[in-house]
């Protein structure tokens, strides 16, 4: 028998996990760090393990997925899931509006609702009396596949809806955020595996899995953009239906706007087009829909698409071009990355002449050769990449890509590991030295301002530095001998280098540039081991005791500290006065948060505010970007605040900020 106290504790914890799921995936306004969430989740799992009678099928822990299924069942959609007619110009769009006007009464309400066209994978979710009972893919529009077992693992899809009618079909897009997609691909590429082509492919690949545990490990989200058949409730307008869904707890497409004129439509289109690269997820156009649902019925449908909606697409960001050559770039870890040199081609306003091929596994997967015509895509600020080879255009003259046997920078022999190529020279290869120092001085590492890549080139090529420790031995006299180096510049640089000496253990670990150890892992290592000595002496087994450190990462860390030359650099760094202060935390209220302050603050100075963030486990940054998680806005906040809203970053005021860190007014 479970005691009343335990049951109460369980229910409270479960409600808390559910609340944070909603905040994170549905409202995009997380209140706690991922690490904090993981702790709550593990506590819940532990309680259910100790008291199995508490666990019910709709517990958040049951999302992780049961046993794999053998094959997908077919599902017939009650109402076909049609596709959309597409237009690419204002004139074509206007022609569509004229056509619907001609089809309707002169005084019919011509309100249109505009939405982003989300580049995801469409799903239909069926709720019976508010409970998710079935999820299916679009399929051929009439018959899709039953993917309930995988969709149940998606944290952003509510398993229960509030105030739901007898039966409700919700339609929308499963999608993956660009930042999540990149993180996943980065991890794959680091492991030497071929990456996913784009977020859309990753999304559909994740939904269409026989094994739901694979789906559960992918950062899927969902956004509703309409309804299928509904029993037990009538809606008059699309906007009412969407409001109803949002109130019921369903995430819906953002940026919905009701409009009446062509000018408003064009302004909306241009606004979304301009913000395309800054959005958290991919969109490929806008969708316009007749708002009045009775008018939709009157307009009806063609065989493939309804007459009451249209997609007004953005210019494509994929182009075909030819691979002229493949070069191998040497990174800071000595890894050789293949880069395709392309016949220059404009893609979405930028001339593209290089595309990454990631690693040898990707070359093999694409079967790309020099001389091939390829499809290249570019999204956001990422390096363009080759999506596929157009084999139909092969002439037989294409040449296979030969991996180099020597490092293109210093001619040292190339080492071949299981999945990658490395320059064997390590510490003496200039490309590796420069890469390592660029990483060492970067913001999330030692944060040495003013030491740009061009100066690193000069310092390394001029023989002034050969490793990070040499930075702390630079003196003004040597610096002033350099071309274009002035007195002021030299002083500023030396001051910045000096200032970087006071740092934290986690920044320092990150700065070392250990293969597979980024900012997050460095922070986890610092927290776990508490001192550099303890980390340096840790066995592979001990290293694996740290959350997120698997065998590959543990080996990499262990190998790094086993190398004499790395230990020497570390000793020199410490000898020159680099000190690793442990920030004393007052609480973990801001753990995992990356905070931006904008506008005026009334109770704190900016410096105090930054200090408060650090004291409560968070970090601050000056610019609003994907990595920021929280914006504290005061009076007069302007562009940064707009940008935060566009990116869907949570925004709070100074009072709320102070309340969170236990300093209420």
Residues that bind ligand IVH in the complex, under the rule CB under 6 A: 82-84, 115, 117-118, 122, 138, 173, 225-226, 253, 287, 306, 309, 311
- List strands edge to edge, sheet with 619-620: 619-620, 594-598, 630-633, 650-652
d(Cα 596, Cα 587) in Å, to the nearest integer? 19
Instruction: Select 121 or 190, whichever has its Cβ closest to ligand IVH.
Output: 121
What is the separation of C-alpha 612 from the centre of its chain, rounded to a whole number of angstroms? 27
State the residue number with the nearest CB to ligand IVH: 122
Instruction: Select 118 or 423, whichever has its Cβ closest to ligand IVH.
Output: 118
Bridge partners of 651?
Answer: 631
- Using DSSP, state whether 144 is helix, strand or coil: strand
**Catalytic pick among 117, 335, 434, 643:** 117
- List strands edge to edge, sheet with 220-231: 131-137, 121-128, 167-176, 220-231
Task: Give the position of tokens 């439509």.
Answer: 265
Instruction: Select 284 or 420, whichever has its Cβ closest to ligand IVH.
Output: 284
Whether 117 is catalytic is yes
CA-CA distances (angstroms) from residue 156 to 30, 52, 89, 118? 13, 25, 34, 16
d(Cα 191, Cα 194) in Å, to the nearest integer? 9
Q: Least CB distance from residue 311 to ligand IVH, whole Å?
A: 6
Instruction: Select 227 or 526, whichever has its Cβ closest to ligand IVH.
Output: 227
Per-residue H/E/C for 184-204: HHHHHHHCCCCCCCCHHHHHH
Q: Least CB distance from residue 306 to ligand IVH, whole Å?
A: 5
Q: Answer whether 286's CB lies under 8 Å from 60's CB.
A: no
Q: Least CB distance from residue 195 to ligand IVH, whole Å?
A: 24
Instruction: Select 59 or 243, whichever has its Cβ closest to ligand IVH.
Output: 243
H or E stretch at 633: strand 630-633
Instruction: Select 6 or 301, whichever has its Cβ closest to ligand IVH.
Output: 301
Residue 566 is encoded by which pair of tokens? 């790395």
Instruction: Select 254 or 266, whichever has its Cβ closest to ligand IVH.
Output: 254
Q: Least CB distance from residue 256 to ligand IVH, whole Å?
A: 9
Q: Least CB distance from residue 665 to ligand IVH, whole Å?
A: 43
Bridge partners of 286?
Answer: 116, 312
Q: Least CB distance from residue 196 to ligand IVH, whole Å?
A: 19
Q: Least CB distance from residue 118 to ligand IVH, whole Å?
A: 4
Bridge partners of 352?
Answer: 345
Q: Rounded to 5 degrees, what angle do the CA atoms 187, 192, 198 make?
A: 55
d(Cα 225, Cα 116) in Å, to the nearest integer? 10
Residue 191 is encoded by which pair of tokens? 């492991």
Query: Angle, to 10 degrees, between the axis of helix 90-103 and the axis of helix 262-274?
Result: 140
Tell which residue, 452, 461, 315, 329, has the closest CA to residue 383. Answer: 329
Instruction: Select 117 or 218, whichever has its Cβ closest to ligand IVH.
Output: 117
Per-residue H/E/C for 435-494: HHHHHHHCCCCCCCCCCCHHHHHHHHHCCCCCCHHHHCCCCHHHHHCCCCCCHHHHHHHH
Q: Least CB distance from residue 253 to ligand IVH, whole Å?
A: 5
Q: Least CB distance from residue 268 to ligand IVH, whole Å?
A: 13
Q: Tell the burial category of 427 from Cβ atoms under 10 Å away from its Cβ (0-12, 13-18, 19+).
A: middle
Tell which residue, 164, 83, 99, 98, has the closest CA to residue 129. Answer: 164
Residues in the chain, overall count: 665
d(Cα 158, Cα 18) in Å, to the nearest integer? 10
d(Cα 168, Cα 161) in Å, to the nearest integer? 10
Instruction: Select 82 or 427, whichever has its Cβ closest to ligand IVH.
Output: 82
Q: Least CB distance from residue 114 to ligand IVH, whole Å?
A: 9
205-219 burial by CB neighbour count: b if 16+ within 10 A, else e?
ebbebeebeebbebb
Instruction: Select 136 or 651, whichever has its Cβ closest to ligand IVH.
Output: 136
Q: Answer whether 366's CB lies under 8 Å from 393's CB.
A: no
d(Cα 33, Cα 597) in Å, to the nearest integer? 18
Instruction: Select 79 or 534, whichever has its Cβ closest to ligand IVH.
Output: 79
CA-CA distances (angstroms) from residue 456 to 36, 136, 196, 332, 467? 39, 54, 34, 13, 11
Q: Least CB distance from residue 69 to ligand IVH, whole Å?
A: 24
Residues that are catalytic: 117
């Amino acid at each position: 028998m479970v005691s009343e106290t335990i049951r109460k504790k369980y229910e409270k914890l479960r409600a808390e996990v559910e609340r944070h799921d909603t905040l994170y995936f549905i409202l995009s306004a997380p209140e706690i760090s991922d690490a904090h969430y993981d702790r709550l989740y593990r506590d819940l799992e532990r309680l259910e393990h100790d008291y199995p009678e508490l666990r019910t099928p709709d517990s958040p822990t049951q999302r992780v997925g049961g046993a794999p299924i053998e094959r997908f069942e077919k599902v017939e959609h009650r109402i076909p899931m049609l596709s959309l007619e597409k237009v690419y110009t204002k004139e074509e769009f206007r022609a569509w509006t004229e056509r619907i006007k001609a089809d309707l009464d002169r005084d019919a309400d011509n309100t249109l609702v505009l939405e982003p066209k989300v580049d995801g994978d469409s799903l239909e979710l069926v709720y019976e009396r508010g409970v998710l009972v079935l999820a299916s893919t679009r399929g051929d529009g009439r018959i899709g596949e039953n993917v309930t077992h995988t969709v149940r693992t998606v944290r952003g899809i509510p398993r229960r809806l509030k105030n739901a009618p007898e039966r409700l079909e919700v339609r929308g897009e499963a999608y993956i955020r660009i930042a999540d997609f990149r993180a996943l691909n980065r991890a794959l590429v680091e492991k030497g595996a071929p990456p996913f082509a784009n977020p859309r492919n990753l999304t559909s690949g994740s939904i269409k899995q026989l094994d739901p545990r694979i789906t559960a490990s992918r950062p899927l989200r969902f956004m509703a953009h309409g309804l299928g058949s509904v029993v037990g409730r009538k809606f008059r307008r699309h906007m009412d239906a969407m409001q109803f869904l949002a109130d019921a707890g369903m995430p819906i497409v953002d940026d919905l706007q009701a409009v009446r004129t062509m000018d408003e439509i064009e302004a909306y289109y241009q606004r979304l087009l301009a913000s395309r690269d800054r959005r958290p997820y991919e969109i490929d156009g806008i969708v316009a829909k007749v708002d009045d649902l009775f008018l939709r019925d009157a307009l009806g449908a063609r065989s493939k698409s309804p007459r009451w909606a249209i997609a007004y697409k953005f210019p494509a960001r994929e182009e075909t071009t030819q691979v002229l050559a493949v070069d191998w770039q040497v990174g800071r870890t000595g890894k050789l990355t293949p880069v395709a040199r392309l016949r220059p081609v404009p893609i979405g306003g930028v001339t593209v002449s290089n595309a990454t091929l990631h690693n040898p596994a990707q070359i093999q997967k694409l079967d790309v050769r020099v001389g091939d015509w390829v499809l290249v895509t570019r999204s956001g600020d990422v390096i363009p990449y080759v999506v596929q080879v157009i084999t139909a255009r092969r002439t037989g003259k294409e040449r296979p890509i030969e991996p180099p046997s020597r490092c293109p920078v210093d001619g040292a022999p190339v080492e071949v590991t299981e999945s990658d190529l490395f320059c064997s020279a390590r510490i003496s290869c200039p490309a590796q030295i420069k890469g390592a120092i660029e990483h060492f001085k970067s913001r999330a590492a030692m944060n040495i301002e003013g030491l740009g890549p061009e100066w690193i080139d000069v310092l390394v090529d001029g023989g002034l530095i050969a490793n990070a420790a040499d930075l702390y031995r630079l003196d003004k006299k040597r610096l002033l001998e350099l071309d274009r180096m002035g007195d002021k510049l030299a002083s500023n640089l030396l001051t910045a280098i000096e200032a970087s000496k006071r740092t934290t253990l986690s920044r320092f670990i990150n700065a070392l540039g250990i293969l597979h150890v980024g900012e997050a892992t460095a922070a986890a290592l610092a927290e776990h081991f508490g001192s550099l000595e303890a980390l340096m002496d840790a066995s592979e087994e001990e290293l694996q005791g740290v959350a997120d450190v698997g065998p590959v990462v543990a080996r990499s860390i262990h190998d790094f500290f086993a190398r004499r030359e790395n230990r020497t650099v570390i000793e020199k760094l410490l000898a020159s006065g680099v000190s690793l202060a442990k920030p004393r935390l007052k609480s973990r209220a801001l753990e995992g948060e990356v905070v931006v302050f904008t506008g005026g603050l009334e109770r704190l100075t900016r410096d105090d505010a930054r200090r408060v963030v650090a004291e409560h486990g968070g970090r601050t940054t000056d610019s609003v970007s994907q990595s920021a998680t929280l914006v504290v806005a005061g009076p007069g906040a302007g562009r940064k605040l707009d940008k935060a809203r566009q990116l869907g970053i949570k925004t709070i005021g100074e009072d709320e900020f102070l309340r969170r860190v236990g300093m209420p007014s």
